[in-house]
Amino acid sequence: MAKVYYSKEISPKALMRVYEALGVKLGGKVGVKVSTGEKGAKGYLKADLIGPFVKSLNGVIVECNTAYTGARNNVSDHMEVAKEHGFTSFAEVDIMDAEGEIKIPVKKGKHLKYDLLGSHFDNYDSFVNLAHGKGHMMGGFGANLKNQSIGFASREGKAYIHSCGKTKSPKLCWLSRHEQIDFIESMAEAATAVADYLKDCDKPIVYITVMNALSTSCDCDANQDDPVMEDLGIVASLDPVANDQAFIDMVWASKDPGAELLKERIDSRLGREILPYAESLGLGKREYELVEV
Residue predicted with more confidence, 85 or 176: 85
| 3-class DSSP string for 262-292 | HHHHHHHCCHHHHHHHHHHCCCCCCCEEEEE
Share of the chain above pLDDT 90, in %: 97
Mean of the pLDDT values across residues 183-198?
Answer: 98
Confidence tier at 69 by pLDDT (50, 70, 90): confident
Tell me what pLDDT residue 254 has: 98
Taking the domains of the chain in order of start, what are their residue ranges?
A: 2-96+124-144+202-292
Q: Which SS3 state, helix, strand or coil, does residue 135 take? A: strand
Report phi then psi at 108, rounded to 5: -135, 145
Tell me what pLDDT residue 70 has: 85
CA angle in degrees (0–180, nearest 5) for 140-75-57: 75
pTM (2 decimals)?
0.98
| 242 CB burial (10 A radius; 0-12, 13-18, 19+) | buried
Confidence tier at 244 by pLDDT (50, 70, 90): very high
Which tens digits make up the pLDDT trace of 83-132? 999 999 999 999 999 999 999 999 999 999 999 999 999 999 999 999 99
Tell me what pLDDT residue 79 has: 98
Confidence tier at 74 by pLDDT (50, 70, 90): very high
Query: For the chain, first and last CA: distance in Å?
Result: 18
> What is the average pLDDT value for the chain, to the nearest integer?
97
Mean of the pLDDT values across residues 10-39?
Answer: 97
Position 68 pLDDT exceeds 90: no
Tell me what pLDDT residue 133 has: 98
Mean of the pLDDT values across residues 154-174?
Answer: 96
